[in-house]
């Protein structure tokens, strides 16, 4: 098990660094078209919309200086893999995008890996969290910016087990839900705990009363959410409506900070979930938060961060390599280390194409505390980047390396890579 450092008085602040800047010489060299394929409709549209805000701001910042200019071309995956495949092909064949980027759903992320490999186009996956994307199903032309399920649970599991060891699981019936349930239930088993119940629900469910009625009649001391997005927020709200917050604790894989308006914060104080990023984790995080807040109304959270920093890292690599050729871009990402606006440096690992980075656990705060700090969580656990996802000798990384070794990059017929 990874060593976990639990925070007792906030997070140490790293040395001050400037917000990433683009400083090429004057005069346009190329305009690179980034196909942003995201969930702008469907069950993940609220998350996809926040990613878009962050990415647009990063492009705006990148285009202030430098000879390479960037343009976002949008495609809506509808939160459905079949739609994502159609839109990806449209962006590649009709819009002529140079790279693909984005994504929230794990199912869509998994579907796009073989498609982009066959099409011969580089793909930076923004937010999908299924662990196998950078494991046994890894692709030569896809890297992932956001943490995977295994990384997210690293700082959460120890605290969740301290809340109690009789767990009742609710799981969304898609890739992330299955992955989260498999890992959390195994951790509970290893700790000698008891699985009191396990219900699988359809993605996009709005009424969780059948599950909560069963839960109410058990002796579970922790209710574990293996769902995400608005589904998780609705589950938590209805759990409070049933009065179960008075007898149980709440934990799981995802309860996003963008849902601060829809959650009864005073009733879910102490709920334990992964935190993607916080403005307090380093000096560069504070600088990024200031930049985001200047352009985006309302509280700034982890999904704004994912959109901005993933887009920034993509544009930095494109600018540096001097080409949009897919294999050259993939090589440019290999073991690329950068200031990801966290306490320690982030790295796109070449062996499995996962961006390893600091990961955090949070305990949700009261309404009064939220109004003061404009952030939904107090950080209560941290795993540093170099411990966040094992090493290249870990089984999942070896599986990724083996899978990619046998892959052939497809020929993108009719496309001429841009160079400068």
Q: Is the pLDDT of residue 290 over 70?
A: yes
- Give the residue-averaged pLDDT of 239-265: 97
- DSSP classification of residue 315: H
pLDDT averaged over every residue in the chain: 93
pLDDT at 239 over 90: yes
Residue 385 has a pLDDT of: 98
Mean of the pLDDT values across residues 2-20? 38
| Higher-confidence position of 21 and 364 | 364
User: What is the average per-residue pLDDT within 383-408?
Assistant: 98
According to DSSP, the β-strands at 249-252 and 142-144 are: unpaired
Task: Give residue-wise pLDDT tens across range 349-389.
Answer: 999 999 999 999 999 999 999 999 999 999 999 999 999 99
DSSP calls for 202-257: -TT----HHHHHHHHTS--SEEEEE--HHHHHHHHHHHHHTTGGGT-EEEES---G
Where are any strands of DSSP class E within 227-356? 249-252, 272-275, 336-338, 346-348, 355-356
Domains and CATH numbers, the chain: 30-147+280-357 (3.40.50.2300), 151-278+359-387 (3.40.50.2300)
**Rounded mean pLDDT, 139-158:** 97
Whole-angstrom Cα distance, residue 283 to residue 15? 6
Inter-residue contact 102 to 51 (CB < 8 Å): yes
State mean pLDDT over 58-63.
Answer: 98
Per-residue pLDDT at 26 exceeds 90: no
pLDDT in tens, 170-217: 999 999 999 999 999 999 999 999 999 999 999 999 999 999 999 999
Question: What number is the average pLDDT over the span 132-149?
Answer: 98
For 55, residues 6+ apart whose C-beta sits below 8 A from its C-beta are 36, 72, 101, 102, 126, 307, 308, 310, 311
Distances (CA, A) of 105 to 112, 121, 276, 298: 11, 20, 16, 24
User: pLDDT value at position 27?
Assistant: 56
Alpha-carbon distance of 160 to 182, in angstroms, equals 15
Residue 95 CA to its chain's centroid (Å): 26
**29: confidence class by pLDDT, cuts 50, 70, 90:** confident
- Say what the pTM is: 0.92
Q: What tens digit of pLDDT does each residue of 99-140 get?
A: 999 999 999 999 999 999 999 999 999 999 999 999 999 999
Looking at residue 2, what is its pLDDT?
A: 38
For residue 212, the model assigns a pLDDT of 98
The mean pLDDT value for 312-340 works out to 98
């Amino acid at each position: 098990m990874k060593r976990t450092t639990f925070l007792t008085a906030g997070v140490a602040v790293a040395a001050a660094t400037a917000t990433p800047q683009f400083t090429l010489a004057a005069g346009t060299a190329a305009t690179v078209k980034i196909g942003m394929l995201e969930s702008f409709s469907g069950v993940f549209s609220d998350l996809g919309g926040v990613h878009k805000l962050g990415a647009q701001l990063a492009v705006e910042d990148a285009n202030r200086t430098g000879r390479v200019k960037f343009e976002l071309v949008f495609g809506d995956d509808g939160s459905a893999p079949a739609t994502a495949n159609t839109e990806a092909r449209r962006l590649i064949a009709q819009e002529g995008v140079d790279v693909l980027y984005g994504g929230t759903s794990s199912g869509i992320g998994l579907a796009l890996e073989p498609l982009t490999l066959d099409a011969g186009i580089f793909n930076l996956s923004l937010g999908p969290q299924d662990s196998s994307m950078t494991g046994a199903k890894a692709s030569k032309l896809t890297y992932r910016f956001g943490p995977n399920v295994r990384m997210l649970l690293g700082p959460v599991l120890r605290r969740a087990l301290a809340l109690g060891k009789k767990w009742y699981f609710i799981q969304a019936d898609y890739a992330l839900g299955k992955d989260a349930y498999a890992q959390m239930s195994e951790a509970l088993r290893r700790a000698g705990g008891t699985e009191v119940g396990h219900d699988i629900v359809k993605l996009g469910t709005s009424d969780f009363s059948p599950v909560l009625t069963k839960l109410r009649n058990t002796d579970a001391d922790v209710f574990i959410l293996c769902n995400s997005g608005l589904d998780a927020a609705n589950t938590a709200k209805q759990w409070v409506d049933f009065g179960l917050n008075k007898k149980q604790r709440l934990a799981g894989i995802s309860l996003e900070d963008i849902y601060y308006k829809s959650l009864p914060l005073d009733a879910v104080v102490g709920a334990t979930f992964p935190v993607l990023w916080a403005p307090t984790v380093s000096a560069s995080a504070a600088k990024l938060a200031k930049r985001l807040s200047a352009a985006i109304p309302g509280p700034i959270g982890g999904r704004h961060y994912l959109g901005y920093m993933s887009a920034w890292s993509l544009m930095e690599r494109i600018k540096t390599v001097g080409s949009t050729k897919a294999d050259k871009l993939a090589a440019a990402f290999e073991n690329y280390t950068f200031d990801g606006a966290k306490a320690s440096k982030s790295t796109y690992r070449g062996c499995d194409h996962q961006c390893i980075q600091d990961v955090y656990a949070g305990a949700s705060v009261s309404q009064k505390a939220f109004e003061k700090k404009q952030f939904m969580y107090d950080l209560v656990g941290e795993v540093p980047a170099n411990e966040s996802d094992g090493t290249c000798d870990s089984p999942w990384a070896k599986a990724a390396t083996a899978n990619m070794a046998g892959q052939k990059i497809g020929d993108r017929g009719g496309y001429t890579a841009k160079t400068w």
